[in-house]
Amino acid sequence: MQFNMDHSLGFVLNRTALASKNSFNQMIKAYGISPEQWSVLFRVVEQSGISQKALADSTYKDQGNLTRMIDKLIEKGYIKREADADDRRAIKLYATERSVVLAEAVAPLSSRHNENMTAGFSYEEKATLIALLDKVYQNLQKDEHEK
C-alpha cells in the first residue's frame, strides 16, 4: 500500500484544526465560552441584527447545533433573539452590551492566536497559506455541488 497518512492533506488539516481549537480554547477558557461560541458571538457583534440563516452560512454551522449554541449564548446574556419585523417567521439575532465587551476582550486573543499559528511566516507566506486553503475549500465545494 502506497499511502502515508502523515502526508495526507485531510489528515494534516484535521490535526492542525484540532490543535488550533485546543490552543485557542485554552486562551479563552477564562471567558467561559468555547471557540465555536466565539465565532457565533463575534459574527453577531459584527453584524447585529443578522438572521439565523445568515449566521449559519457565515459560520459554517448546521442549524441544529447553531440553535443550541444560540440558546446557550442567550442564557448567558450575550445575544438577544427577536422576530423580524418584516417577516415574523424569520429570527434576527442582536448583540448585547455584554457581548460587545466580551468581543473587545477576546478579539485581541484571537489575533494573537493567529499570530502564534503563523510565527516565522512572512506576510507573503501567510497570504499564500490562506489563498491555498481557500482554494482547497473551493475545490471541496465544487465536488460537493457536482454530487
Report residue 113 CA to chain centroid gap.
13
**Residue 34, C-alpha cell as written in the block:** 468555547
- What are the start-end ranges of the E strands in 47-117? 50-51, 79-83, 91-95
Strand, helix or coil at 77? Answer: coil
Structure confidence by residue, pLDDT tens digits, 8-31: 999 999 999 999 999 999 999 999
Strands 91-95 and 79-83: antiparallel
- pTM for the whole structure: 0.86
Whole-number pLDDT of residue 147: 64
Domains of the chain: 5-146 (1.10.10.10)
Distance (Å, rounded) from C-alpha 18 to C-alpha 41? 20
